[in-house]
């Protein structure tokens, strides 16, 4: 917060200085340059204001976290893109980012769901994605469609999510984390497990479930790699949640067209 207040003060002083300069003279180049400088300075002031508003939202979310260390850590916001949120990167560092969610069909390897959000955690996002896929299937004229099996990676593991999935008659296939203590069978149901969680542990212990989970390597991972390498879903060159989602949607459409067209040509 202190740094943002300092940035706002500097940005406002810079804008006032530009406005106080000599009025544009007869030189049109000076006029255009001065207008551009004032526009850029005003844009920076506006972005700092939006970052301060975002900071309040981040602080409100952090106040609800169960982890004391994370809850008491100072809230942060980005001046470059106030709608972005600080997230942990694959390299272990933290950067302003968006959480891109994709749903794909393992058989056709087509992308069937897209979402972009500011939530750094994946666990709460699996259920809304299923609803999106089902709604899209209905809208496309396929009638009532039900996601009965959902393949997820370890970032989505959450006991409450497993319980809600079973209530919706959805079988989840995601890895069971290794226990903190040695000598404990992670697939063995525990005394405090709900029925859904116990069934999930036993399901993932079977060879059939392991075979299903191994499909991620040839489906989700290849799709993620394609979008990151060829379709622009990496370092975004736009600002704002809506624009980022637009980029991801176009990238998903391009992937589907190229992938499915290639499959038709091969057959």
Digit-by-digit pLDDT tens for the chain (267 residues) are 899 999 999 999 999 998 887 655 555 556 788 888 889 999 999 999 999 999 998 888 888 877 776 777 888 888 989 999 988 887 888 888 999 999 999 888 899 999 999 988 898 999 999 999 999 888 877 767 889 999 999 889 999 999 999 999 999 999 999 888 888 899 999 989 999 999 999 999 999 999 999 888 888 889 999 999 998 888 899 999 999 999 999 999 999 999 887 766 666
Strand residue runs (E) in the chain: 85-88, 94-97, 99-104, 111-117, 149-151, 171-173
Strand, helix or coil for residue 94? strand
pTM higher than 0.85:
no
For residue 93, what pLDDT is reported? 86
For residue 29, what pLDDT is reported? 59
For residue 107, what pLDDT is reported? 86
The number of C-alpha atoms within 13 Å of 209 and in the hemisphere containing its C-beta is 18
């Amino acid at each position: 917060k202190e740094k943002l207040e300092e940035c706002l003060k500097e940005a406002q002083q810079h804008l006032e200085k530009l406005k106080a300069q000599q009025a544009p003279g007869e030189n049109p180049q000076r006029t255009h340059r001065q207008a551009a400088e004032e526009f850029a300075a005003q844009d920076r002031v506006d972005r700092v204001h939006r970052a301060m508003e975002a900071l309040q939202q981040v602080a409100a979310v952090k106040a609800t976290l169960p982890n004391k260390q994370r809850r008491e850590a100072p809230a942060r916001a980005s001046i470059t893109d106030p709608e972005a949120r600080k997230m942990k990167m694959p390299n272990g560092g933290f950067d302003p980012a968006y959480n891109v969610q994709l749903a794909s069909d393992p058989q056709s390897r087509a992308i069937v769901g897209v979402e972009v959000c500011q939530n750094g955690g994946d666990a709460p996002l699996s259920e809304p994605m299923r609803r999106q896929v089902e709604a899209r299937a209905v809208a496309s004229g396929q009638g009532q469609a039900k996601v009965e099996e959902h393949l997820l990676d370890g970032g989505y593991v959450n006991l409450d999510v497993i319980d809600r999935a079973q209530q919706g008659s959805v079988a989840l296939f995601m890895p069971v984390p290794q226990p903190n203590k040695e000598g404990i069978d992670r697939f063995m149901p525990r005394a405090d497990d709900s029925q859904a969680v116990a069934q999930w542990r036993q399901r993932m212990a079977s060879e059939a479930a392991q075979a299903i989970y191994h499909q991620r390597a040839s489906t989700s991972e290849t799709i993620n790699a394609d979008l990151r390498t060829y379709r622009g879903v990496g370092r975004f060159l736009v600002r704002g949640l809506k624009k980022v989602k637009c980029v991801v949607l176009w990238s998903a459409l391009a992937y589907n067209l190229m992938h499915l067209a290639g499959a038709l040509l091969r057959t």
